[in-house]
Amino acid sequence: MRALPPRAQQPQHPPDDDPHHSPDRADEAGGVHVLYGAKSGLGAQGSQWFARNSPGVPGALATGDYVGHTVRLRDTDRDGMADLYVMGDNSSLRLPGTSKGVTTTGVQQVNGDVVTGMLQ
Ligand SMILES: [Ca+2]
């Protein structure tokens, strides 16, 4: 009589160290990190992070939203400040630019075609 091989065990998943996974499990929800330039180059000072769970940003974190997969800076209201257009798979946004940076005050949802239609 032959001995049966040991029963296969369920694979053990390693701890989640994938940088694309968010801690709240809205994997690949995305976001945009805005860095500002100076004479010395880009810097972290005054940088801003925008995601669906940022105060004032419409929507909620959602798996596969990929917020920020396409972005554009355009002064579409012609006030002299570049406005940030951010595309996500669930919706796209226009964040107004101000003299102090991009703001969620007055954020608007826009058609994604508006964002992709802008030249880079
Ligand atoms: Ca503007």
Ligand 1 centroid–CA 67 distance in Å is: 21
* Six-digit token string for 73: 């800076």
Residue 115, Cβ density class (10 Å: 0-12 exposed, 13-18 middle, ≥19 buried): buried
Q: Residue 10 pLDDT > 50, yes or no?
A: no
Q: Work out the pLDDT band at 12, boundaries 50, 70, 90.
A: very low
End-to-end CA distance of the chain: 72
Ligand 1 centroid–CA 17 distance in Å is: 39
Domain spans of the chain? 32-117
Residue 64's pLDDT is 94
Residues 13-42 pLDDT 10s: 445 555 555 556 789 999 999 999 989 999
Residue 22's pLDDT is 56
- The count of other CB atoms within 10 Å of the CB of residue 85 is 22
Give the pTM: 0.77
Residues 48-96 pLDDT 10s: 999 999 999 999 999 999 999 999 999 999 999 999 999 999 999 999 9
Ligand 1 centroid–CA 118 distance in Å is: 15
